[in-house]
Every structure is written in structure tokens, then in C-alpha cells.
Amino acid sequence: MKRFALRTGVRWKISIAIAAVGALIATALSLVVHNAAQLSMLDNAREVQLERLLFAQRMYDSTHELKFGTKLNDPALPDDLRDKVQQGRRATYIHDAADGTPDVWAAVPLENGVLSLHSKFADRSATIMNDLDRALLIGSVCVVVGGSALGVLIGGQLSRRLRKAAAAAGKVAQGNTDVRVREAVGGVVRDETDELARAVDALTDALNERIEAERRVTADIAHELRTPVTGLLTAAELLPPGRPTELVRDRAQAMRTLVEDVLEVARLDSASERAELQEIALGEFVSRRVALLDPDVRIRVLHDSWVSTDPRRLERILGNLLANAAKHGGTPVEVTVEGRVVRVRDHGPGFPDALLREGPSRFRTGASDRAGHGHGLGLTIAAGQARVLGARLTFRNAAPEGLTPGPDETGGAIAVLWLPEHAPTTTGSFPMIKLPG
């Protein structure tokens, strides 16, 4: 079952995180300020109420008249307040009324009962609380908006740096090892992005050193083998005729071919090869060369085109593709030229899945069951020569004519060589163009 993955950028994640934290802090501070202000006002209302009651008590003691709305033995007196007064204490009490406005009570004991004063919470105090709540709400919204803007700004800077690092790392993955991720990131601020960039650069350097060491070892081994293999082939020519001699010559020739192929792969891996360009008519060139390589191959030129390329390397690519089709494919083999595109198709079992996923690999043949002959260097060399030409070599399988392929059947293997519109330069670089697959 395929899991759903929500993709969001670092900018929005940081913005949302800052906005959420800002909202929580603003809400907490608003609640604290609101409660503190309300408690302060209520305490002040208690004191004012008690002072009024004490003043009214002194007047009652002297005149025996109730002033300022005081009542004697008020039946509405809250029970909690009555209990405190009966203990001989002065007391105040806040009662939350049904309309939301608190009632402020104050009471003192007398010889003949309880003198109490009751009034609503001051309207002015309620107005002040409403204004305070409004100010706190506006402040909280400003904090959240400001935090979000700050998050977008900070996240945008980090996101741009990460995108630059990813783009540079992508170029390195494509083989452009001269690109430095740290230089691509740039900037004055040093953060974790720089640490990541330095780590990627260090990894690239280590991989380049290891690849170069392996290439040198491979080239040295192949070079050292060339002399004894040549001597072995020469000695085999001196053996008397016979079946054993033919087998020795065949194996010696195969070993010599392998050594030459390994040396060619090493040269291609070193990126030191340069194309020697000539203007050629692609359709006419492919027709002549393919006819010499394999007369049984069907050739179709749908549209001829003049291209600037290296004929020797182009012939090497065609020869390797045809050899792979002959060894691992099925007849008929067809070569089609259309503009700058050359297609080589056979009608065999098709390319193995591993080759379609990962591309050509050394010592992995084009046979699905690995039962074919060869060492798997033909397609690797063809892909390397295509890179020198600035071309693109792709591999796919075709369905049978008019049919949808089943799970175990294909209509053959198709190798497509896309020659570039612009020829590679003398430095080996070339403008990459995107072509349909």
C-alpha cells in the first residue's frame, strides 16, 4: 500500500513553528496579564467597599441611620460572608452574578446584627478590563503575524541555501566533480548548511580519489597484461594446425580483446578523451558503416542530417550496439536514422531489468540469464564514447507489434543514440539538451 507523503518546504515549516510558539506564548502571557489585572481590580474593589462600609458604620453608631445603601441583617447576605462575620471579623466577598458582572460585598459585625454593603463591580473597571483584553488580543495577533513573517524570512534564507547545496550535489552526482558545494552555497553566515556542504565536498574528494586509484590500478593491470597476452597470441600462431590450436588462439584473442576493452574503459573513465570533429551526413555514414559491420542488418534512413561528430567514435558505438544485439538479441536487427537520432533494435528477449534501471555496468552482459558470451564491456564503452561525443545513449524494451507486453515478454531491445545539436568543445564540455525519452 502506497503511503501518502505531504511535501512541505523548510520555509513554511519554520514559519509555522515560530507562529505556533508565538501564539502559545502570546496566549499564555495574555491570560496571565488578564488574570493579574482582574485580581488587582477586584482586590481594589474589596478595599474600597470595606472603607465605605466602615465609614457608614461610624455614622450608624452616631446617628443610628443606615447610609450609602448599607443594610442591617440583609437576608441576601452570602452564607460564607455571614459565617465569617459571625466569628467577629470584618470580611469582603466577591460573588459572580448571572450577567457576568461580579457583586462586591462587605460586612462588619454589630451588637444587634450584621451591617453589610453590596454593589456591582464598577462599570469603569469593566470597561478597563475590556480595553485591556482588546489590547492583548491585538498584541497577540501582531506577535503571531510578525513571527510568521520572521519565519518566512529565516526559512527562505535556509531554504535557498539548501536548494543551492542540492543543485550543486546533483551536478556532482552527474559527474561534474569540479563543482564545490560549499562555494555554491556561499553566504556570510556559517551554519549547519555549511557543515553539510563541507561534508559533501569531502565525500566527493574521497570518492574521486578512490575512483581514480581504482582506474589507475585497472589501467596498470591491463597495460601490464598487454605484453604477455600479445606474446601468448604470437606463440599460438606458431602451434601446429589442429583443434587444440584453434581453441588456444580463440582464447588468446578473447583475452587480448578484453585487455584492450579494459584499457579503453580506463581511458574513458579518466575523462581525458577528446572528440576529433568532422562534418558528416549521418544517414549516409551509418548506412555505409553498418553494411560493413553486418550486411544482414536492416537500415532505414527516415531523415538525413549533417552532424559535427567524431566518425571513429561513432563507428565504435554502432559496432558495440550491433555486437550486443547479435550476441544477446534476436533477428532481425534494425538500424533507423531520423535526423540526429540513431536507433538500434533487435527482436530478442530485451534488456534485463537491472540494465534498464542502472544503465550499462562492467562485466554484466546484456543477456537476461547471463548465459551469453562477452564480458559486458561493450555497452559500457558505447555509453562512455557517447559521453565524449556529447551524445546521450538510452536503453529500453519494445512491445511486440500491436500487442501489449506480458510480464515475461518484450518486443526486443532498443538502444537510442541522441547526437547533440551542438558539437562538444575542444575541452570536452558541451551544452546539455533535454530530449524526449
In this structure, what C-alpha cell is assigned to residue 144? 503571531
pTM here?
0.49
> Which helix (H) or strand (E) covers residue 248, if one does?
helix 243-269
What confidence category does residue 171 fall into, taking pLDDT thresholds of 50, 70 and 90? confident
Task: Render pLDDT for 319-356 as a digit per residue (tens, 0 to 9).
Answer: 888 888 888 888 888 888 888 889 999 888 888 877 77
Cβ-based neighbours of 363, under 8 Å, separated by 6 or more: 375, 376, 377
C-alpha 176/C-alpha 427 separation (Å) is: 14
Burial of residue 133 (number of CB atoms within 10 Å: 0-12, 13-18, 19+): middle
What confidence category does residue 428 fall into, taking pLDDT thresholds of 50, 70 and 90? very low
Which strands form 413-418's sheet, in the order they lie side by side?
298-303, 334-338, 341-345, 413-418, 392-397
Of the two residues 433 and 227, the one the predictor is more confident about is: 227
The residues with which 115 forms a beta bridge, in sequence order, are 72, 108
Strands (E), 316-378: 334-338, 341-345
Task: Render pLDDT for 271-286 as a digit per residue (tens, 0 to 9).
Answer: 666 778 888 888 888 8
Alpha-carbon dihedral sign for residues 167, 173, 179, 181: positive
b/e 342-364 (16+ beta carbons within 10 angstroms → b): bbbbbbbbbbbeebeeeebeeeb
> Which helix (H) or strand (E) covers residue 307, if one does?
strand 306-309
